[in-house]
Amino acid sequence: MKKTVIGFISVVMIGLILAACGKPAAKEEVQDNSWQAIEKTGKLVVATSGTLFPASYYNDQNELTGYSVEVSREVAKRLGLEVEFKEYNIDGTIASLKNGTTHLIANDLSLSEARAKNFALSLPLKYSFDSMIVRKSDDSGIASLEDLKGKKAAGEATTGYMKIAEKFGAELVSYDNATNDQYLTDVANGRTDVILNDYYLQKMSVGALPDIPVKILEDVYFNASTSGLLYNKKDVALREKIDEVIVEMQKDGQLKALAETFFGTDVSVEPAVKVDRTVSAD
CATH architecture assignment, domain 34-126+226-263: 3-Layer(aba) Sandwich (3.40)
The per-residue pLDDT for 31 is: 83
Buried b (16+ CB within 10 A) or exposed e, 169-183: ebeebebebebbeeb
The yes-or-no answer to whether 34-126+226-263 and 128-223 have a common fold is yes
Q: Tens-digit pLDDT profile for the chain (282 aa)?
A: 444 443 433 444 444 444 444 444 444 456 899 999 999 999 999 999 999 999 999 999 999 999 999 999 999 999 999 999 999 999 999 999 999 999 999 999 999 998 999 999 999 999 999 999 999 999 999 999 999 999 999 999 989 999 999 999 999 999 998 899 999 999 999 999 999 999 999 999 999 999 999 999 999 999 999 999 999 999 999 999 999 999 999 999 999 999 999 999 999 999 999 899 999 888
pLDDT tens for each residue of 66-91? 999 999 999 999 999 999 999 999 99
Residue 59: the pLDDT is 96
Domain boundaries, given as residue ranges, for the chain: 34-126+226-263, 128-223
Instruction: Record the pTM.
Output: 0.81
Write out pLDDT tens, residues 116-129: 999 999 999 999 99
Pick left, alpha or beta for residue 271 (phi over 0 → left; psi -120 to 50 → alpha; otherwise beta): beta
Q: Which of 145, 108, 103 is CA-nearest to residue 278?
A: 145
Predicted pLDDT at 95: 97
- Residue 19's pLDDT is 46
pLDDT of residue 192: 98
Looking at residue 281, what is its pLDDT?
A: 86
CATH of 128-223, one of 3.40.80.10, 3.40.1710.10, 3.40.50.720, 3.40.190.10: 3.40.190.10
**CA neighbor of 225 nearest in space, from 149, 164, 154:** 164
